[in-house]
Structure 1
Amino acid sequence: MNGLTITLIVIVVLIVLLVLWGVGAYNSLVDLRNRVANGWAQIDVQLKQRADLVPNLVETVKGYAGHESEVFQKVTEARARAVQAAQDGTPAERAQAEGQLGNALVNLQATAEAYPQLQANQNFMDLQNQLNQLEQKIAYARQFYNDVVQKFNTKIQSVPSNIIAGLFHFKEAQFFEAVDQDRIVPQVSFSK
């Protein structure tokens, strides 16, 4: 073998290794992008279940606390905003709308606590248990989603996988973050 043949073999081996690395990096990015989409779908399922549960919860509380119309109106409006954000909102817009719904539900539950007969109602207790379970599932789904988004975004930003991400137009995903109003404890007032 002469020097030209060895040089050619080295170049071919380097090209093959580079192509294999590129394929691996691309497949890793695709896997993470799909996991982000799956995480978002899981959040979406839980949030839709919560939105579907809200009207039943409101109607049950209305039966005992019918004069608390402002609370019911706020829950209904917050649910409508959450449903609208689910249809055409970004994760940030969805997080804000869902945070408003969560705050409205906290106020609804606080209102319900003022009515001992309601607290003893089996239907209300079942709905409240379902809501609590959904809230736990939503929290887990958010955590999973945000963990995957963090891995995906890190991969997109890290050298050398950022080269593949740029070539194939991978875009960073948005976190599903609590907005500032979610961190504020809601004020509850009973006007009887």
Structure 2
Amino acid sequence: MKSLRTVAFLAPLALAGCGVNSVPTAEENAKARWADVQNQYQRRADLIPNLVATVKGAGAQEKDILVQVTNARASANQIKVSGDELTDPAKMQAYQTAQNGLSLSLQRLQEAYPELKSQANYTTLMSQLEGTENRVTIARNDYNTAVQQYNTRIRTFPDAIGAKIFYGAKPMVPFQATTPGSEAAPKVSF
């Protein structure tokens, strides 16, 4: 009876010492870290095109305003009125119309100035790109750390016993950049 109690007492300790709980815990941790890697890649895939589109849209609007100002300025500078032409109403009207066009374009620029955001949008885009790449790197590092811990656990005594007997555990593969160009962040073009 005493030996049965001793076996009943020692059996859970022996099982606990051979990775019955620690191996699946380490495996699940590594799988969760891999899910984090995938999540960060998905975040990058979703975020970057939207940010680029936002920057392009703001840049296009601002470009339109600046092109109008440039064209109005060029038009205003093309019309010249000499001292001898001050008595010609048509020349004076053309000159005044060109100058009014420039004034109107400059007024639009002044009105839009507080909302001109392309520079801020580019800054935000660059910050988001850097932050996204950092998140991906951290997630990959966390995954590799979890894989290393799992692989170490299933290969070292006493957990190796339970890992083979109860789970048929095999080492996990750490993240490695093997795709050509994967070591570089995605290119963003306008």
1:20 maps to: 13
**Unpaired runs of at least 5, structure 2:** 60-117
* Higher radius of gyration, 1 or 2: 2
2:120 maps to: 122
Candidates 21, 24, 34, aligned match of 2:28? 34
For 2:171 and 2:40, the matched residues in 1 are separated by: 24
- Percent identity for Structure 1 against Structure 2: 33
Shift of 1:61: 7.0
Shift of 1:182: 4.9
CA shift in 2, pair 1:55/1:183, >3 Å: closer
For 1:37 and 1:168, the matched residues in 2 are separated by: 19
Contact 2:52 2:125 (C-alpha < 8 Å) held by counterparts: no
For 1:151 and 1:46, the matched residues in 2 are separated by: 22
**Which whole-Å deviations, capped at 9, do the CAs of 1:128-165 have from their partners, x for residues lacking one?**
21121111111111111111100101111122211211
- Which residues in structure 2 correspond to 1:1-192 (within 5 Å)? 9=3, 13=6, 16-24=9-17, 25-59=19-53, 121-169=119-167, 170-179=169-178, 181-182=180-181
Query: Which letter does structure 1 place at the counterpart of 2:172?
Result: A
CA shift in 2, pair 1:134/1:183, >3 Å: closer
What SS is found at the alignment partner of 1:175? coil
For 1:184 and 1:42, the matched residues in 2 are separated by: 19
**Which whole-Å deviations, capped at 9, do the CAs of 1:5-62 have from their partners, x for residues lacking one?**
8xx63x7525632432313521111211121122112212211110002322454676
CA shift in 2, pair 1:50/1:183, >3 Å: closer
Number of matched pairs: 128
What is the root-mean-square deviation of aligned Cα atoms in Å? 3.4
For 2:36 and 2:53, the matched residues in 1 are separated by: 27
CA shift in 2, pair 1:185/1:174, >3 Å: closer
CA shift in 2, pair 1:51/1:184, >3 Å: closer
Higher RCO (Cα < 8 Å, 6 or more apart): 2
Contact 2:44 2:132 (C-alpha < 8 Å) held by counterparts: yes
Scaled by the length of structure 2, what TM-score is found?
Answer: 0.54
**Is 172-181 or 159-168 further displaced after alignment?**
172-181
Contact 2:55 2:121 (C-alpha < 8 Å) held by counterparts: no
